[in-house]
A and B are shown apart, each in its own frame.
Chain A
Amino acid sequence: MKTLDDILREKVTSLDSMPELSWNEDDLWQTLQSELGYQNLKKSRGRTMLWSSIAAAVSIVTVVFIKVFIADPGATITYTHYVEDAETAMLDENEAGSDEGARELIESMCLSDLEICKTPEFIELKDQLDEVAEEIESLDQMIAMYGEDPALARSKTEIENFKSEIMYQLIQIITS
């Protein structure tokens, strides 16, 4: 005959094989994995991924830099660095001022109804001078916006030389 203990034992152990209790298996495995150092492995994998991503990004930037700035033979730019003393700076300012002065002289002479100012050659040169002045103004704005870009600086130098040349020709016409 079965004893009380036998009945209770049979009843209770019959449940052992039944999946009555539900567990969050993900949590259980996560805990097991963390105990076994899987998390550390995952972290180190994460770090490896991070460094790989950084390396890939640096490589892409380097390739783009080489393509844009180095591989194009037409874009060789030479930089010159010099220390400007106060005297030279003042001379440059005077030069700029002399440009403006020459322009004012040309305009004031033409205001006095000078015949030469009405010649097609003079009018054409005067128009060119106005266009160049506008061009320089817009270049100055671009430099203010984007900084001292070498290409902009080179363009400005070239256009200022052209402006000086036009003014020289205009003064020659007036004084001839």
Chain B
Amino acid sequence: MTRMCYRYIKDESETMLVLNEGFLKIYRNIAQFEYRGEGGLTAWVKKVMLNEALGYLRKRKPLHVSSLDESSDLSWDYIALENLEAEYIFQAILSLPEGYRAVFNLSVIEGFSHKEIAEKLGIAESTSRSQLVQAKRRLQSILIKEICR
């Protein structure tokens, strides 16, 4: 949960506050949780924490997003990418601007659709798409440097 929140917030003390708020919500609303099989609690906790992290981003300031060209000609070296350290990729994601990072995390890591992302972040679907493309471009340029070393 810490890692997940940190991916969005990128600040240790703020992440701690978000975790704190999230766990309080879990504690206060635990009676509402219905067990529906293995992994249900984890998914529920993850959902609460994710909402909390996104809520934090929304509250702090309007999410900085920029409308950019959606076209993408990304060409990745998948094998080289597979060999990269997970921690390096994690740090590369953290280095993305906030708007890119939020959309990238929600789309690629959490698996939400652009429609869902648009609802969660209060942005247009098209913006979500363009942010994702830009996030991937930025990420690619960062990771290529490491791959080429």
Chain A interfacial positions (CB closer than 8 Å to B): 2, 4-5, 7-9, 11-16, 18, 20-21, 23, 27-28, 31-32, 35-36
Contact = CB atoms under 8 A, between A and B. Distances in A.
Interface residues on B, range: 20 to 34
Contacts of B34: none
Nearest to A28: B16
Contact of B20 (A11, A15, A18, A28): A28
B103 interface: no
A112 B122 CA distance: 122
A8 B7 CA distance: 13
Contacts of A28: 16, 19-20
18 contacts: A4-B78, A7-B78, A9-B111, A11-B89, A11-B90, A13-B109, A15-B90, A16-B1, A21-B2, A21-B3, A27-B16, A28-B16, A28-B19, A28-B20, A31-B17, A32-B24, A35-B20, A36-B24
B102 interface: no
Given A8-B89, A9-B109, A16-B1, 19 more contacts: A2-B82, A4-B74, A4-B78, A7-B81, A9-B111, A12-B7, A12-B93, A12-B109, A15-B87, A16-B3, A21-B6, A23-B2, A23-B16, A28-B16, A31-B16, A32-B20, A32-B23, A35-B20, A36-B24
A35 B25 CA distance: 11
Closest 6 A-B residue pairs measured CB to CB? A11-B86, A16-B3, A11-B89, A5-B108, A31-B20, A14-B86
B12 interface: yes
B35 interface: no
B86 A15 contact: yes
B23 A9 contact: no
B108 A8 contact: yes
B109 A2 contact: no
Contacts of B20: 28, 31-32, 35
Contact of B76 (A4, A13, A20, A35): A4
B30 interface: no
- The dominant DSSP class at the B interface is helix
A20 B3 CA distance: 8
Contacts of A8: 81, 89, 108-109, 139
A16 B3 CA distance: 6
B135 to A, nearest CB: 11
B4 interface: yes
Contacts of A20: 3, 87
Contacts of B16: 23, 27-28, 31
B41 interface: no
Nearest to A6: B108
Nearest to B79: A7
B84 interface: yes
B7 to A, nearest CB: 7
Interface in B1-29: 1-4, 6-7, 12, 16-17, 19-20, 23-24, 27
